[in-house]
Amino acid sequence: MTKRVEGKIAVVVGAGQTPGETIGNGTAIAGLLAREGASVLCVDRSGERAEKTAKDISSTGAVVSSMEADITVADDCARIVKLAMTRYGRIDILINNVGIGGGGDAQAHRIEERVLDRILDVNLKGMWHTIKAAIPVMRAQKSGSIVNISSLAATSGATQMAYEISKAAVNRLTTHVAQSNARYGIRVNAIMMGFMDTPMAISGIAQATGRPTEEVRAERNAMVPLRGKMGSGHDTAYAALFLASDEAQFITGEILRVDGGMGLGLA
């Protein structure tokens, strides 16, 4: 049976695994794409974490490599594309699993400018850098699929201005790039995640608030309408696989909610 992305070349940005009990979105996406036949370049700001993800995946027999890169630096993003082209000769899939929060993020009248700049630099400008670097390759190929990881915070919430507006901007970046590149056969979509049981989310909140991880997990589970349970990195990965694959060949500019019904305002 043919695998869903057999023979494709995928670059997964944010593929490193944050320490914790559960799997992160980037690690899950990289692993699933590899299992479904793609050759994968794992990229992360931590070279050690990127290498660990690549090593774990390669143990299954997949073709995978890794590199360290800071996506807030345009030259690093150019290096990502150069390495992918040197090693594999093309880029079929770009996964932008990019996002930070916390660190002083607050409401508009309280947040400091340095915090806003830091979060926008990573969540928005970093994603733009990788897209800008990859688009010329995909235009030359007249094909490619870009999947940006967004968040339900793009449309709701009133406590973390920088994170919320950065993800709203990611959604608009997605539709802009989709519209301006459709004629070149490039598809661009985003996944708008709800609450996910990932180490970055759960451990990050627990550390920031000084609460036990299980208390944080239980509280967030209770807020999810669908079965009262958060999603996992695997849920994000399966959505990304679909959007990246030829099964979604007529889909572009879509902002796909993967949120257990949270965006519906279900009681």
Q: Catalytic amino acids?
A: 163
Evaluate whether 41 touches 31 at the Cβ level (below 8 Å): no
Backbone angles phi, psi at 5, to 5 degrees: -130, 40
Task: Using DSSP, state whether 188 is helix, strand or coil.
Answer: strand
Task: Using DSSP, state whether 149 is helix, strand or coil.
Answer: strand
User: Rounded CA gap, 114 and 103, in Å?
Assistant: 10
Quote the Cα angle for 14-188-52, to 5°: 15
Bridge partners for 65 per DSSP: 41
User: Rounded CA gap, 150 and 168, in Å?
Assistant: 8
User: Which helix H or strand E contains 43, and what residues bound it?
Assistant: strand 39-44
Quote the Cα angle for 124-8-151, to 5°: 25
Tokens coding 197: 């049981």
Pairing of strands 255-258, 93-96: unpaired
User: Rounded CA gap, 209 and 254, in Å?
Assistant: 35
